Amino acid sequence: TVLVVDFGAQYAQLIARRVREARVFSEIVPSTMPVAEMLAKEPKAIILSGGPSSVYADGAPSIDRALFEAGVPVFGMCYGFQLMATTLGGTVDNNGAREYGRTDLTVSKPGSTLFEGTPDEQVVWMSHGDACSAAPEGFTVTASTGQVPVAAFEDDERRLYGVQYHPEVMHSTFGQQVLEHFLYRGARIAPTWTAGSIVEEQVALIRERVGSKRAICGLSGGVDSAVAAALVNEAIGSQLTCVYVDHGLMRTGETEQVEKDFVAATGAQLKVVDASERFLNALAGVTDPEEKRKIIGREFIRVFEQAQAEIIADADSDGEDVAFLVQGTLYPDVVESGGGTGTANIKSHHNVGGLPEDLEFELVEPLRQLFKDEVRMVGQELGLPDEIVQRQPFPGPGLGIRIIGEVTRERLDLLRQADAIAREELTAAGLDRDIWQCPVVLLADVRSVGVQGDGRTYGHPVVLRPVSSEDAMTADWSRLPYDVLATISNRITNEVRDINRVTLDVTSKPPGTIEWE
Ligand code: XMP
Ligand 1 atom nearest 220 alpha carbon: 15
Q: Is the pLDDT of residue 24 over 80?
A: yes
So what's the pLDDT on residue 343? 37
Between 3.30.70.890, 3.60.21.10, 3.90.1070.10, 3.30.300.10, what CATH number should domain 402-504 receive?
3.30.300.10
CA dist list (Å): 42 to 3, 17, 35, 39, 71 = 9, 20, 11, 5, 11
The protein residue whose alpha carbon is closest to atom 6 in ligand 1 is 472
Query: How would residue 163 be classed by pLDDT, with cut points 50, 70 and 90?
Result: very high
Residues belonging to the active site? 78, 166, 168
Among the listed residues 398, 384, 127, the one whose alpha carbon sits nearest the alpha carbon of residue 248: 398
Burial of 309 (0-12, 13-18, 19+ CB in 10 A): exposed
Q: Is the pLDDT of residue 511 over 70?
A: yes
Read off the pTM: 0.83
Q: pLDDT of 91-137, one tens digit each?
A: 999 877 788 889 999 999 888 999 999 999 999 999 888 999 999 99
Ligand 1 atom nearest 222 alpha carbon: 15
- Our answer on whether the CB atom of 80 is closer than 6 Å to any ligand 1 atom is no
CA dist list (Å): 121 to 4, 78, 101, 107, 368 = 28, 19, 16, 6, 40
* CATH code 3.40.50.880 region(s) in the chain: 2-186
495 vs 473, higher pLDDT: 495
Q: pLDDT of 216-254, one tens digit each?
A: 999 988 999 999 999 999 999 999 999 999 999 999 999
- Our answer on whether the CB atom of 395 is closer than 6 Å to any ligand 1 atom is yes
So what's the pLDDT on residue 338? 53
Q: ipTM of the predicted structure?
A: 0.98
- C-beta separation of 73 from 45 below 8 A: yes
Q: Over the Cα atoms of the chain, what is R_g?
A: 27
- Our answer on whether the CB atom of 396 is closer than 6 Å to any ligand 1 atom is yes
* CATH code 3.40.50.620 region(s) in the chain: 195-389
So what's the pLDDT on residue 453? 83
Q: Is the pLDDT of residue 346 over 60?
A: no
**Burial call 386-401: b when 16+ CB within 10 Å, e when fewer:** eebbebeebbbbbbbb
**Burial call 448-471: b when 16+ CB within 10 Å, e when fewer:** eeeeeeeeebebbbbbbbbbebee
Q: Is the pLDDT of residue 345 over 70?
A: no
Query: How would residue 339 be classed by pLDDT, with cut points 50, 70 and 90?
Result: very low
CATH topology of domain 195-389: Rossmann fold (3.40.50)
- C-beta separation of 516 from 449 below 8 A: no
Question: What percentage of the chain reaches a pLDDT higher than 90?
Answer: 78
- Our answer on whether the CB atom of 186 is closer than 6 Å to any ligand 1 atom is no
Among the listed residues 201, 288, 191, 293, the one whose alpha carbon sits nearest the alpha carbon of residue 247: 293
- C-beta separation of 459 from 498 below 8 A: yes
Among the listed residues 468, 478, 406, the one whose alpha carbon sits nearest the alpha carbon of residue 442: 406
So what's the pLDDT on residue 112? 96
* CATH code 3.30.300.10 region(s) in the chain: 402-504
Question: What percentage of the chain reaches a pLDDT higher than 70?
Answer: 95
Q: pLDDT of 274-305, one tens digit each?
A: 999 999 999 999 999 999 999 999 999 889 88
* The dihedral sign for the CA sequence 22, 26, 29, 31: negative
So what's the pLDDT on residue 337? 60
Among the listed residues 175, 118, 106, the one whose alpha carbon sits nearest the alpha carbon of residue 143: 106
So what's the pLDDT on residue 340? 33
Q: Could you tell me the CATH superfamily of domain 2-186?
A: Class I glutamine amidotransferase (GATase) domain (3.40.50.880)
Please tell me the distance from the alpha carbon of residue 128 to that of residue 95, in angstroms, as a whole number. Answer: 11
β-pair type (467-468, 476-477):
antiparallel
By mean pLDDT, which of 154-158, 298-302, 506-510 is the weakest?
Answer: 298-302
Average pLDDT of the residues in 163-176? 95
**CA 287 / ligand 1 centre spacing (Å):** 18
